[in-house]
Structure 1
Amino acid sequence: MNNKYILKSKHLGFRNWNFCDTDKLFALNSDKEVMEFFPHLPSLEQTKEFIKRMQNQFEKNGFCYFAVDFLETEEFIGFIGIIEQTYEADFTPCVDIGWRLDKKYWNKGYASEGAKRCLEFAFEDKKLESIKAIAPEINLKSRKVMEKIGMKYVKDFKHPALINDKKLETCVLYEINKEYFSQEKL
């Protein structure tokens, strides 16, 4: 499998999506532990729509939540990247960073490694000024990654897509700007 990677980090290759990723992403989306902080498991059709949305974002902006392969094996392990968010909130539209990895790759530093590489791409290549991150307040794993990559807590808010889900509706907003990221790299 000769993937053309848009970005690479030490262990990870970031690429655009293709439809042969559908079954692998659907399997990841069907893992209840991976999807613990989401209101439902996406259907196969929703998984296909997600891939199409990422392809469209990439075509429009040159970025998306990239499909991520573990370089050593070229195995698909999930996604990490940045996308435009336009849902109704006082901080949107914005560019948000996100990740979802197969649990066999958890607790090895890959989410942080990949997210740092995507921040570098966002600030240095795409010349973005600031990146946000959003997660349900109770998602301590994602919050830990946000903090590990230098993001700062901004506030809690009620996510409009989760308003009827008492467990998930209160979300946190984190942010990092280009200037702070550049200083951190020194």
Structure 2
Amino acid sequence: MDNYCFTSTRLGFRNWLPGDITAMAAINANPEVMRYFPATQDREQTAAFIDRMQKLYAARGFCYFAVETLAEKEWIGFIGLAWQEYDAPFTPCVDMGWRLKPEAWGKGYATEGAKRCLHFAFNDLGLQQVIATAPLVNRKSIRVMEQIGMKPLLQFKHPALLAHPELELCVAYSIGPA
């Protein structure tokens, strides 16, 4: 039986399970996946992330959802929403993010999933705005933001990336209900 919170055409979105730690840890340990982050993450950091997502889901009804393909029931990573409170002109806010394993890249999953999460954010949760951020050098994520209709809000230096000059300059995009 599927335990999806919702689905899109090809994807199922669900809360995290303990069995997801190994697969997510493999993604977080991949230098290519994590090239726009300060470092890769180990299993312990991944478990803490999943725990944080489970708590966020319990508290607010959303998180960066674990995502599977519907046809193959293959776990591919996460796409979803998170509450952010770091020091920036647009926080606190609901942020959208995604991280997929390389085998899932180039298939339109991030765009499809992000569109479905926006529908969930505005129609189910009643949110008035969703933000997405990325280092300015991460053109692929910025392209997804543009494809789903988000508009540039501002450039900023991300407080968590100040020790990483190649990543610290970020862009924030925003979107509200249609």
RMSD (Å) for aligned C-alpha atoms: 0.7
Q: Which letter maps to 1:34?
A: V
1:48 paired to 2:47: yes
* Residue 3 of structure 1, CA deviation: 3.2
* Residue 19 of structure 1, CA deviation: 0.9
The residue that corresponds to 1:150 in the other structure is 149
State how far apart, in whole Å, the 1-side matches of 2:40 and 2:18 are. 19
Matches within 5 A, 1:1-186: 2-178=1-177, 182=178
Q: What are the Cα deviations for residues 101-134 of structure 1, in whole angstroms up to 9, with x where unaligned? A: 1111111111000000000000000000000000
* Residue 31 of structure 1, CA deviation: 1.2
Q: Name the TM-score, length of structure 1 as normaliser.
A: 0.94
State how far apart, in whole Å, the 1-side matches of 2:139 and 2:72 are. 29
Gaps of 5+ in 1: none
State how far apart, in whole Å, the 1-side matches of 2:73 and 2:28 are. 20
Q: What are the Cα deviations for residues 56-109 of structure 1, in whole angstroms up to 9, with x where unaligned? A: 000000000000001111111000000100011111000000000111111111
State how far apart, in whole Å, the 2-side matches of 1:27 and 1:89 are. 30
Q: Which letter maps to 2:109?
A: Y
Three-state SS of the structure 2 residue aligned to 1:165 is: coil
State how far apart, in whole Å, the 2-side matches of 1:146 and 1:103 are. 19
Gaps of 5+ in 2: none
Q: What are the Cα deviations for residues 136-164 of structure 1, in whole angstroms up to 9, with x where unaligned? A: 00000000000000000111100000011
Q: Which letter maps to 1:18?
A: L
Paired positions, count: 178
